[in-house]
Amino acid sequence: MIQLINVTKVYPHMKAPSLDGVNLRVERGEFVFLVGPSGAGKSTLMKLLYREELPTSGQVILDGKDVARLPRRAVPYLRRSIGVIFQDFKLLPERTVFQNVAFALECTDVPRREIARRVPAALELVGLRHKSRALAAELSGGEQQRVAVARAIVRNPVLVIADEPTGNLDPENTWTIMNLLNQINQMGATVVVATHAAEIVDSMKKRVIALERGRVVRDENRGTYGYES
Amino acid sequence: MSLRGWVTALRDALRNTARGNVMSLASMLSVAVTLLVLAVVVLLAVNLEEMAATAESQVEIKGYLCTARREEVKCGQRDLTEQEIEAILAGIRGLPDVETVTFLSRHEALEEMKRADPAQAEILSGYEGDENPLSDEVYVKVSDVERVAKVAEQIQAMRGVAKVDYGKEIVADLLAFTRAVRIGGLGLVLLLLFATVLTLSNTIRLSVYARRREISIMKLVGATDWYIRRPFVLEGMLLGALGAAVASGVVAWGYIRLAPAIQESVPFLPVVRPELILTDLTLALLGLGAVLGAVASFFSLRRFLNV
């Protein structure tokens, strides 16, 4: 599913590389936690996956295709197969919950009938179907993140990437979101989650990849968070 | 691209235009003003061209043929025979760029003078026949005013032609003038086009900025560049076309009133009639406004779309 071969990323005007010769392989259907101190390169790694950034050297291979070699016009189609979730939700506050989820389908020209069928299903999964008509701005943080999760999965992506999805949430909501991601993984999607939620990483017993100063320092199945939190 | 996609994009464009209403109005008006100036420049240029064309068509070469009374050495102080005159006329007709050749004999010329001034007819009668001091004349019209000097030279070189006259300075001035009008007009038009694109792209940039969050999400969920660009391109076209409509309206209103007045006070000037030009001008301005708006949007979005 995901393969990183000797990937290095150096941002302009930065001395130290954000990623430094990373080699990594994630199989289809895996659930992976990315851990490590802030600035270790977790976000950079994820940005390479949905081609927000290009590697300085090395190859990022998704589904057998080298992401960096993808022509510009093919990038939108790559992104349609990936669901991305952020710490700050990235919702449109003045639109309703339904509209926020439908937005991902609308701007990729999905027929309206299809939208009417898929959006409620996605909202059902995250338990917010009853809030379809509420404005995103009126929801709590946890609810907003669940809307973002619904938007990420409404297209049935093969890969879901979550960059510190619970960074702004209380422990209870953190559990809800992590359980949702786990559920999405059970349904078949490959899930990569960057997080600082030590307790959850420890109790979920998933594969844990630790990054420090742009290098993979630990990669264990059924791993633990491994840092003081 | 589906019809629904276009409808959505158009709705977005209208919403954007309405949302930035003060800014949209301001930019639409400044586009209107720039296009108004542009239209005035075009109208002026068209009229000056028309004037120059009329003046050009009036330029003709006047050739004086030899007579016994003329002093030029090449005339040899003898009258030309009919055959010689015919040969000269045929020669002139055979020159390239010559359009029409009119011959006026010195006897006809004298008769004309008598008719023109009956009071002098008595005196003029004394100059009939061999006493006629006038010369036979040829009037030559040339298809292209730029070729007048060359043709005049060729006629002058012919045997039996005493002298030619074609208002050398006037022709030179006319040519310089039309050239200046063309170059100046073109330069000014380009400058105004540039100003219009700048105005529009600034407005669109604000509109893009107001929706930057939406744009970043669109990119994230896999919207194509064209999908993201479309409502802004439509918004630009709309603003440009609206500005053009205002400009066209004002120009039409002004020209319809002004053209007849100018024509009346300066009858010898050929003013282009409003009905001959305003339709084309309006259509051109509307098209131009829309195209400039599209171009401006295209450029103001480029930076936002590049990852």
CA distance B216 to chain A (A): 9
B12 touches chain A (CB under 8 A): no
Chain A interface disruption, residue of B221, B226, B302, B306, most A CBs within 10 A: B221
Least confident of A30-34, A214-218, B52-56: B52-56
Taking alpha carbons only, the member of B209, B7, B225 closest to residue A108 is B225
pLDDT in tens, A44-72: 999 999 999 999 999 999 988 999 889 98
The predicted structure's pLDDT at residue B307: 46
Domain coordinates in residue numbering, chain B:
3-55+172-305, 60-166
Taking alpha carbons only, the member of B193, B188, B206 closest to residue B291 is B193
CATH of domain B60-166: 3.30.70.3040
How far, in Å, are A84, A170, A171, B276 from residue A198 at the CA level?
21, 13, 11, 80
Contact: A51, B225; criterion CB under 8 Å: no
Chain B interface disruption, residue of A99, A107, A119, A154, most B CBs within 10 A: A107
Least confident of A4-18, A146-160, A190-204, B155-169: B155-169
A50 touches chain B (CB under 8 A): yes
What is the band of A209 on the pLDDT scale with cuts at 50, 70, 90? very high
The predicted structure's pLDDT at residue A184: 96
pLDDT in tens, A121-155: 999 999 999 999 999 999 999 999 999 999 999 99
Token output for A202: 């420890």
Contact: A107, B225; criterion CB under 8 Å: no
Per-residue pLDDT of chain B (307 residues), as tens digits, is: 567 777 877 887 777 777 766 777 888 888 899 999 999 988 888 888 888 778 777 788 888 988 888 888 788 778 888 888 888 888 888 888 888 898 988 888 888 888 888 888 888 888 887 778 888 889 998 888 788 888 888 888 888 888 888 877 777 887 888 888 889 888 998 998 998 888 888 888 888 888 888 899 999 999 998 888 888 899 889 999 999 999 999 999 999 999 898 888 888 778 888 888 999 999 999 999 999 999 999 888 887 776 4
What is the band of A40 on the pLDDT scale with cuts at 50, 70, 90? very high
Domain coordinates in residue numbering, chain A:
89-156
Residues 6+ apart with CB under 8 A from B302: none
What is the band of A9 on the pLDDT scale with cuts at 50, 70, 90? very high
Taking alpha carbons only, the member of B17, B41, B61 closest to residue B288 is B41
Contact: A79, B227; criterion CB under 8 Å: no
B3 touches chain A (CB under 8 A): no
